[in-house]
């Protein structure tokens, strides 16, 4: 089966660090994406992992462990504008990569 799990909601304080976890089970793996989606807007790309390890991009980092079916998104120096939903998505290799499965998203609330 295909399944992606991530927490429904998280709350963190401005300036802090937050880690959003994602676990997945898919029939084939061809990369993991993180997207950010502000309320009423379209998802926008944050990061991509296909090999195990950490990818860093400014205040955002993403980690992948393929053997564990696990990823996390790390947000540092949180800002109020980081309040949004964060979507974990896995590209399925069995469909030639033409199918990307999204998790339900984690709503992050950043408080002052």
Partner 1 sequence: DTAVSQTPKYLVTQMGNDKSIKCEQNLGHDTMYWYKQDSKKFLKIMFSYNNKELIINETVPNRFSPKSPDKAHLNLHINSLELGDSAVYFCASSQDPGVGNTEAFFGQGTRLTVV
Q: How far is the CB of 95 from partner 1 (least distance, A)?
A: 6
CA dist., res. 82 & res. 74, Å (int): 12
Q: Token pair 């462990």 is at which residue?
A: 65
85 in contact with partner 1 (CB under 8 A) = yes
76 in contact with partner 1 (CB under 8 A) = no
Q: Which of residues 4-63 bind partner 1 (CB under 8 A)?
A: 30-31, 33, 37, 41-45, 48, 50
69 in contact with partner 1 (CB under 8 A) = no
Surface-to-core class of residue 93, CB atoms within 10 Å of its CB (0-12 exposed, 13-18 middle, 19+ buried):
middle
Q: Token pair 């990369």 is at which residue?
A: 31
Q: How far is the CB of 84 from partner 1 (least distance, A)?
A: 11
**What ranges make up the beta strands (E) of 28-82?**
32-37, 44-49, 53-57, 60-65, 70-75
Given the rule CB under 8 A, which residues bind partner 1? 30-31, 33, 37, 41-45, 48, 50, 85, 87, 91, 95-102, 104-105
């Amino acid at each position: 089966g295909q399944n992606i799990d991530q927490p429904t909601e998280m709350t963190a304080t401005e300036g802090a660090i937050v880690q959003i976890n994602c676990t997945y089970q898919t029939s084939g793996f061809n990369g993991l994406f993180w997207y950010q989606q502000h309320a009423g807007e379209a998802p926008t790309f944050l990061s991509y992992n296909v090999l195990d390890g950490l990818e860093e991009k400014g205040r955002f980092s993403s980690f992948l462990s393929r053997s564990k079916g696990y990823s996390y998104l790390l947000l540092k120096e949180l800002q109020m504008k980081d309040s949004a939903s964060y979507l974990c998505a896995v590209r399925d290799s069995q469909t030639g990569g033409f199918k990307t499965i999204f998790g339900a998203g984690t709503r992050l609330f950043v408080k002052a």
